Amino acid sequence: MSGRPPFYITTPIYYVNASPHIGHAYTTVACDMVARFKRLDGYDVKFLTGTDEHGQKVEKSAQADGMDPQAFTDRVSRNFRDLATALNCTNDDFIRTTESRHTRACQALWTTLIERDQIYLGSYAGWYAVRDEAFYNEDELTTGPDGVKRAPSGAEVEWVEEPSYFFRLSRWAEPLLKFYDENPDFIAPDSRRNEVLSFVRGGLTDLSVSRTTFQWGVPVPGDDDHIMYVWLDALTNYITAVGYPETDTGQYATHWPADLHMMGKDILRFHAVYWPAFLMAADLAPPRRVFAHGWWTNEGQKVSKSVGNVIDPLTLVETYGLDQVRYFLLREVPFGNDGDYSHRAMVNRMNGDLANDLGNLAQRTLSMIHKNCGQAVPQPGPFADEDRTLLDQAGGLVDTLRAAIDRQALHEALEALWVVVRAANAYVDRQAPWALRKTDPARMATVLYVLAETLRPVAVLMQAVTPDSAARMLDQLGVPADARDIAALGEEAGRALVPGTALPKPVGIFPRYVDETGDAG
């Protein structure tokens, strides 16, 4: 690991009051694409996901199921761990907030905040939404025709009065605004940054950080009548996983601050306001960047359990294939915007992008090599201008993808790959190697070599998105296992395809999807 730059990326920890859905899959797969790309690029990556298992909502869900909260969270947490595995995600750690390492970290952070006069005991009276595990001001609420007060999220609120410890959040408005100003890339995309700035400029009030009306949570050190507010507990997971409270050695010393916290836009405030304030108040470094992505609808409808249109990611994988689902989620919408899932959109991506564009390019190229070049990488002759143009396009992919992924413009990274794929398909049509076979076999060999050498960086980089399919493509290109990273794509690496390398018989990588009606989309 020595000498490799560290990179620490996290999903939010998922709340275990219900089963995983497409939103959970989306965040985890997006983080996995970034983590895989960074590993390909030589980074020492730590990729964390996990489950948030405390709070009143979990306690109520467990009671509704007639279960003990710990047994309930054991069961539901396993679903999220299994989802990450089913999606072929490469998280290095899976954290649960019911683990002893996490209790230890939370209580250490609390103790530090007390010592630094950042937490004080008072009493709370105000509106609380159990569903959101969040407090709301009166001016944030709406009252429906049924007389029920609701939070901006639509969750019902209830009036709560109880003793509470408070975090001195009001002290941190100006330091936070200064931090945002000095770190303009801290919150992304820009629309979300503007929301946060507006919220903080409106003034911050001290935050209730403990509860006494239920017991499912981390006990407050020295006052067992109180448990920690679930968001102080939950956010601490990111430092628990790197060994906090040990900060001088180990993973904390190498990997904190986190390079990227990824989450849905509904929980941005907690990550962009509360979390850096907690950390700065404890004299700990805030994360480098938080990115809030959008939500998914189903065939244009808001996803809702009551409507019955919740999208199960495991069903999608079973129906369409793992790599196909991963590609669709990352390609279909600009990352950061809301997106709509539909069967038609899925099939269009599978058959248009994967089967027709990339799959057909690989199959045509490798089949012609197998048939006409002795089942081995062809020996190229001198490169013409159009050969070099295509090779240069493919060679420029690494820098383009690095820039896009560092901005979390994951869709742009994929579009850049497809610009090269489309250019290669146009090149095949213009060069017509099937005709050159009769008129100029040497030129045919050069064209086929150029195509194979264009596919190589595409396949190497696609390992971040469609890892199994990309590995099969690299197998068929004869790329050795130790030459499948970004370092092997540099000109100085000298790792281009070696003429004469024996190649296996090509097999299709991305089959077309045909539904039960026989419609291929």
Evaluate whether 24 touches 83 at the Cβ level (below 8 Å).
yes
How far is the C-alpha of 127 from the C-alpha of 517, rounded, in Å? Answer: 53
Strands 187-188 and 290-293: parallel
Evaluate whether 187 touches 193 at the Cβ level (below 8 Å).
yes
Evaluate whether 41 touches 402 at the Cβ level (below 8 Å).
yes
Residue 259 burial (10 A CB sphere; 0-12, 13-18, 19+)? buried
Angle (deg, nearest 10), helices 385-395 and 441-462: 10
pLDDT for 61 equals 87
**Helix or strand holding residue 34 (H, E):** helix 22-40
Alpha carbon distances (Å) from 295 to 130, 286, 338, 346? 21, 26, 5, 17
User: What would the two tokens of residue 321 be?
Assistant: 């294939």
163 phi and psi angles, rounded to 5 deg: -60, 145
Evaluate whether 30 touches 335 at the Cβ level (below 8 Å).
yes
Residue 33 burial (10 A CB sphere; 0-12, 13-18, 19+)? buried
Closest CA to 264 of 146, 167, 153: 153
Beta strands in 256-373 (DSSP E): 260-264, 290-293, 296-298, 301-302, 339-341
Non-local CB neighbours of 230 within 8 Å, separated by 6+ positions: 52, 54, 55, 56, 133, 217
**What residues does 110 pair with on adjacent strands?**
none
458 phi and psi angles, rounded to 5 deg: -60, -45
User: What would the two tokens of residue 410 be?
Assistant: 């994951």
pLDDT for 517 equals 57
pLDDT for 131 equals 85
Place of tokens 């709509």: 340
DSSP for residue 454: H
Cis omega before residue 257 (within 30°)?
yes
- HSE at residue 354, side-chain half, CA atoms within 13 A, is 31
User: What would the two tokens of residue 297 be?
Assistant: 């609808």
Farthest CA pair distance, the chain = 88
Closest CA to 106 of 13, 177, 199: 13
pLDDT for 1 equals 44
pLDDT for 493 equals 53
How far is the C-alpha of 205 from the C-alpha of 239, rounded, in Å? Answer: 25
Evaluate whether 24 touches 80 at the Cβ level (below 8 Å).
yes
How far is the C-alpha of 195 from the C-alpha of 265, rounded, in Å? Answer: 11
Closest CA to 12 of 101, 128, 95, 88: 95
- For each of the domains in the chain, give its residue range(s) and CATH number, in order of start: 343-493 (1.10.730.10)
User: What would the two tokens of residue 245 be?
Assistant: 């409270």
Per-residue pLDDT of the chain (521 residues; tens, 9 = 90+): 457 999 999 999 998 877 888 889 999 999 999 999 999 999 999 999 999 999 888 898 899 999 999 999 999 999 999 999 999 999 999 999 999 999 999 999 999 999 999 999 998 888 989 888 888 888 899 998 988 999 998 899 999 888 999 999 999 999 999 999 999 999 999 999 999 999 999 999 999 999 998 889 999 999 999 999 888 999 999 999 999 999 999 999 999 999 999 999 999 999 999 999 999 999 999 999 999 998 877 877 776 655 667 788 999 999 999 999 999 999 998 887 888 889 999 999 999 999 999 999 999 999 999 999 999 999 999 999 999 999 999 999 999 999 999 999 999 999 999 999 999 999 999 999 999 999 999 999 999 999 999 999 999 999 999 999 999 999 999 999 999 999 999 765 556 999 999 999 999 999 999 976 555 54
**Helix or strand holding residue 298 (H, E):** strand 296-298
Residue 448 burial (10 A CB sphere; 0-12, 13-18, 19+)? buried
345-372 pLDDT per residue, tens: 999 999 999 999 999 999 999 999 999 9
